[in-house]
Structure 1
Amino acid sequence: MNPFPDFQPRGYRIQRELGSNRSGGRITYLATELDTQQSVVLKQFQFASTAGWSVYDAYQREIQVLRGLNHPGIPRYLDSFETDDGFCLVQEYKNAPSLAEPRSFDPEDVKQIAVSLLSILVYLQNRIPPVIHRDIKPENVLVSDDLQVYLVDFGFARIGDGEVAMSSVVKGTLGFMPPEQLFNRQLTEASDLYGVGATLICLLTATKSADIGELMDDNYRIDFKSRIPKVSLPWMAWLEKMVQPVPAKRYANASDALEALKPIYVNRVPTVTAKPETLELEATKLGETLTATVMLSNRVPDTVLVGRWEFVSHPKDLPSKPEKHHWIRIKPDRIEGNRSLCKIKVDTGKLRANAVYHRQLKFCSNAEPETVTVDLTVKTAPVPIRLPVPPLRRLLVLFAMATLLSFGVDTWWGTTLFVARSIARSIDNLWSM
């Protein structure tokens, strides 16, 4: 049994379900138009079983809006008809998945999506009266493989200044509604920009629509900068302005936002150089602390170098985390800036004397290349040669003995000479007799 409703008498055959909001009484189908065999999107609204017929007039006004739209980024209105419990809206089918499906886009792709989406909003806001979509989010933005962008689901759209004003029911999606919409205040042409900015931030940070609250602080401000370090500062500033909680701090309209975005180079990556690339330190005494400096520099405009120092593991080092070392310290060990002087300290008191050590320091960052290395050579001081020092008492004894010995020899020699001279005189006297 076919589980889908039978719309063949109306000229359409259901192929499969594309999505649903059953609590709101809306189911979206992929269908085939029997006359042309073209694929179409058929949205079934069931008022009788959900919200009641009181909202029927609002959807009738939506149909009138869609009938008047003619833009390649908006699926064309084709048909509508009443059913027993509501009505059906038929639109052009675009073979493109929504941004809610997991996909990977680089910053340049995201900028192209932003330009296309803002171009659609420029068209809507230039209409008389202007059209406010009120529900821009990843689920309502379709993007093909070749980056063709389509804005869908105008179920919450309103037209003109009068209808953009406050209503009795807040409609939209939490996290993508601007605060003025959330608190049921008057909307402006800047209101849809908030949803555009939030959608782009989800793409750049790989955040699911349901998790966008994780990026928000208590002031309804989206904090995303730390999650996308490899984009230019103007690109981040542009995104930040798009999601300002206060409407007056956003761009006034889609045209202003588009003009500000076009000249921005978004995919900006810093570079990093380390000088010097080699360090040779030599200690002159045991236990000496040796110091040296390394300058980290980034010369790419509109970028900020962010990174941290690590130590390349060595088989003779004690086990530790990459950012820790037993006898080497680096301050600061974490960097955020384009010119940073880092001090390297080596504690040779933890090393063997008269030895040479070779280690590598590694700086990991958001730059290109992602890592740079500094070679470090440390030579420790030799052990000094020392002659043994005899005790003081022994020195005194040796000195006394030497003195006595010297005195005894001199006395013996003098006596011997005196005796010899006396004998010689006696012999002389005998010969003379």
Structure 2
Amino acid sequence: MTSPTDSDLRFGLPDFSKHGFKIKSELGANRSGGRVTYLARHIKTRRLVVIKQFQFATSSNWGGYEAMRQEGQVLKSLQHPGIPRYLGVFKSDDGFCMVQEFKRAYSLAKPRSFGPEAIREIAIACLEILVYLQDRIPPVIHRDFKPANILVSKKLKVYLVDFGFARIGDGEVGISSVVKGTLGFMPPEQIFNRQLTEASDLYGLGMTLMCLLTNTPADQVGNLVDVTYQVDFTQLKNDLSPQWIKWLEKMVSPRLNERFANAKVALAHVPDHGLRQPQVLVSKTRIQLTAFNPGDLLTTAITLTNGVPGTMLRGNWQVVPHPSDPIFRTGSRPSDSAITQSAIIQSDGNRHSWINFFPAEFQGNNVTTQIQVDTSQLMTGQTYERTLQLKSNAHQSVHPITLAVETAPMPIIRSRGTPYPLLGGLLLACWITVWLLTSLVPDYDPRLANIGKTLTVFAIFGSGLGWQIASWLLHEAKLNSPVARINLIIGAISVALVAPLCLLLNVATTDVITAVITTGLGMIGGSVVGIISGLTIDRFWQRDFKPKLAIGLSLLTCLMGIGLGLGQGLALSTPWFTFGLIANAIGIGTMLVYLPIQQAQAIALYRRNVEQRLIRP
């Protein structure tokens, strides 16, 4: 035991050393009610405790003593980390004392500033304490839930104190107990001596939260309500989310039947977001992607921003289920008839068979999500539309975003295309070239025998040389070697025909200048026509046309153009010439008709072998 020090005597601190306690300071006092609270240290264990003393000599009534005695009776049976433990009682020289566990925390009556997330944590912690009290049989009703009786540490540990007005079980308050409580925090049923329920303490907690949210001191809480006990939420509507305002309205409703039934129900309905709700801004509401090659992996980015200070945007991405998309359980393996084995399994809502998000779940106020589309699972030449769903803790919790994907054309169609522009260009080029060149052939004396046949031989000879020149140029241009070889063969045939034609036609001699001009024009025509036809054949091969079809179509079209140019330039109109043009046109038409038939067969084969395993639009 120790004797009181000079400082204890100077500040009027009592001496509880014979009871095993050393008083350190006075925490609070209600002199008129004879109640004083001290901070003390247990002499043996050195632990800090709180001692509440009821002083008989200074009290004008015994209400304080009864409250302290009742508080001790209630605390004896309570074991919860949010309620300081009851440690015992003792009688002092001038009063009755109760000892309770000390918590290094401050009451909410002390002016402090709490952020939205901190207030939410305080609300949940208080509800958890009330759930514990109300789960007891019979339930414990605190009856004095207010800022002064809620302690909060720097780490947001919450403690409920002062059970002096608490009662076990519900029922009417009784005329002698009407004043037990604090005006502004007592529900109307407590004020008007009506039956108390488990919802009664929720009113005091709700008004305490209102004081924190509006920075209203406890003694001015009356400014928040009107004469009908309705709380004015006008000043909070710009700061609190609608869900939190609705929750608080039920907590402080003056009508008992409009309040939450108990703390457990109130806790279950606490909004799953902070008091202030983020506002999400999405960079785009429609996404359009186009694939140029089958199996392309398409990627785009979408940015989410939140401009509400003091809030954190959280959420995840999902794809709204579509009847064409396969859904498999985790670990299952899709069959080939449904999807290829490389498909990503859609199992938990965030994963999808051909749409992926990176990241699928996010947290932050400026988030960029990569959206990846795997078109290898999709049919070619189709348009797919799916709805993406952004679920977040924002005021608008669900944001739908349309995703449209145009897949690449079918490889057969894309590679071949249509031959008509190429053939049309080749026909026109040959026609105009031959027509212009034949119009430059020198006039000859028709009286000379076989002079026309002689010029024809020279033209054929020049054309053969021109085709060979064309083959050399194409070879130097590093085009497909078969093209150059074809032109070389055509040129060789043309040159080889000159000698037999000379004997067959019994050609006459002509002047050297005319022969040179005619041969030169033939060379120019052969070179131009040979290059054009070679380029056309090469273009056909690049589009995966069969070689025989490409060569046949090109040469027949080239021959048709030459015939039309000769007919127009030399004014030929013999029946044999007309018959040759008709036969040529029939050959070209037959090949053109064969093309779509062949393509349709290839498409049918492709769909039968490939697209049965793909996802439909």
Measured after TM superposition, the shift of residue 180 of structure 1 is 1.1
SS in 1 for 2:151: strand
| 3-state SS of paired residue (1:59) | helix
Please give the TM-score of this superposition, normalised by the length of structure 1: 0.60
Structure 1 residue 42, shift from structure 2 partner: 0.7
SS of corresponding position for 2:176? coil
Aligned partner of 1:377 in structure 2 is none
1:76 partnered with 2:85: yes
Root-mean-square deviation (Å): 2.4
Aligned counterpart, 2:247: 238
| Structure 2 residue 202 is matched with structure 1 residue 187 | no
Contact 2:243 2:271 in 1 (8 A): no
Cα deviations by residue, 1:32-65 (Å, 9 ceiling, x for unpaired): 1111111111111124432434664553332121
SS in 2 for 1:168: helix
Instruction: State the one-letter code of the partner of 1:178.
Output: P
Contact 1:231 1:269 in 2 (8 A): no
Shift of 1:224: 3.0
TM-score, normalised relative to structure 2: 0.43
Query: Shift in Å at residue 19 of structure 1?
Result: 1.1
Q: How does 1:10-409 map to 2 (within 5 A)?
A: 10-53=19-62, 56-162=65-171, 165-169=173-177, 170-227=179-236, 229-270=238-279
CA distance in 2, matches of 1:55, 1:110: 32
User: Counterparts of 1:113 and 1:230 in 2: how far apart (Å)?
Assistant: 18
Distance 1:54 1:103 in 2: 32
Cα distance, 1:272 vs. partner? Answer: 9.0
- Check whether the contact 1:201–1:224 (CA below 8 A) recurs between aligned residues: no
Partner-residue secondary structure (3-state), 2:260: coil
Aligned partner of residue 170 in structure 2, secondary structure: helix
Cα contact 2:34–2:64 (8 A) shared by 1: no
Structure 2 runs not aligned, ≥5 long: 1-5, 283-304, 307-393, 396-617
**Greater strand fraction, Structure 1 or Structure 2:** 1
Going from structure 1 to structure 2, the CA distance change for 1:60 and 1:161 (only over 3 Å counts) comes to: same
CA gap of 1:142–1:55, structure 2 versus 1, over 3 A, is closer
Q: CA deviation at 1:265?
A: 4.2
> Which moved further from structure 2: 218-227 or 139-148?
218-227
For 1:25 and 1:186, the matched residues in 2 are separated by: 30
User: What CA distance in whole angstroms lies between the structure 1 residues aligned with 2:32 and 2:194?
Assistant: 25
Percent identical among aligned pairs is: 57
How far has the Cα of 1:181 moved from its partner? Answer: 1.1
Contact (CA 8 Å) 2:252, 2:259: kept in 1 or not? Answer: yes
Q: Deviations over 1:93-133 (max 9, x none)?
A: 00011111121112211111000000000000111111111
How many Å separate the matches in 2 of 1:63 and 1:47?
17
**Distance across 1 between alignment mates of 2:183 and 2:132:** 25
Q: How big is the shift at 1:266?
A: 2.5
Q: Which has the higher helix share?
A: 2
In the alignment, is the contact (CA less than 8 A) between 2:67 and 2:164 conserved in 1? no
- Cα distance, 1:70 vs. partner? 0.2
What does the per-residue CA deviation read over 1:264-287, in whole Å, with 9 as the maximum and x for residues that have no partner?
5422144799xxxxxxxxxxxxxx
Partner AA of 2:18 in structure 1 = P
Change beyond 3 A, Cα 1:99–1:179: same
CA deviation after TM superposition for structure 1 residue 161, in Å? 2.9
C-alpha distance in 2 between matches for 1:243 and 1:65:
26
User: What displacement does 1:11 show?
Assistant: 0.8
Report SS of the residue matched to 2:269.
Answer: helix
- Rounded Cα–Cα distance in structure 2 between residues aligned with 1:244 and 1:53: 34
CA contact (8 A) 2:67 2:165 kept: no
Code of the aligned partner of 1:257: A
C-alpha distance after superposition, 1:240-281 (max 9, x if no partner): 1100111111001110100000535422144799xxxxxxxx
- 1: CA distance between counterparts of 2:65 and 2:272? 44
Does the 8 Å contact 2:70/2:164 carry over to 1?
Answer: no
